[in-house]
Amino acid sequence: MTQDGSRAPRLTLVLGGARSGKSAYAERLIEALPPPWLYVATAEAWDDEMRARIVQHRARRPAGWETREAPRDLAGLLAGPATGRPVLVDCLTLWLTNVLLAELDLAAETATLVEACARHPGPLVLVSNEVGLGIVPDNALARRFRDEAGRLHQRLAALADRVVLTVAGLPLVVKGD
């Protein structure tokens, strides 16, 4: 239940481009639910720019958030003991990048993640970059990443109770509500 007494969707997928407001929107969805809230971070701080982004995300979240890192074993974390607490995963495309660069079995990892999301009791909010709206990438790895992200989004959108696309800070409900 949300703090206003309405029922929260079990699974929400929030998509958007870079700096579209998707993470802040997802955080507001979770914060409308009673704490404690769990923030699952998939980013790895490989450089100063990514470290700065991580600091910015942490600074935006008020007290009441617990953060766990799951750069590759996201499914394992989601399949852990069900506490019923609100969970935000930010973000799936960083997870996908980590899995691709680690040269793991992407089909198996994706299937395991989708199954963990299907079994998760919720509320669960997943954030991901919509990367399929731009130009066709000029190299095979970038094209594979774009295609795999699109496939992952389709599978999770089929499971989701609500899908939201954020554009210029505005949430556009694509499915649900």
30 in helix, strand or coil?
helix
Q: What is the rounded CA–CA span in Å between residue 104 and residue 59?
A: 32
Catalytic residue among 32, 35, 53, 57: 57
List of residues 6+ apart from 76 with CB closer than 8 A:
70, 116
DSSP 159: H
CA distance 82 to 63: 22
Triad 15, 78, 17: Cα angle to 5°: 15
Nearest to 129 by CA among 11, 37, 43, 8: 43
Q: What are the structure tokens assigned to 31, written together?
A: 């914060």
Q: Is 120 a catalytic residue?
A: no
Rounded CA separation 127/88 (Å): 8
Instruction: Enumerate residues 6+ apart whose C-beta is below 8 A from 170.
Output: 21
Question: Which residues have a catalytic role annotated?
Answer: 57
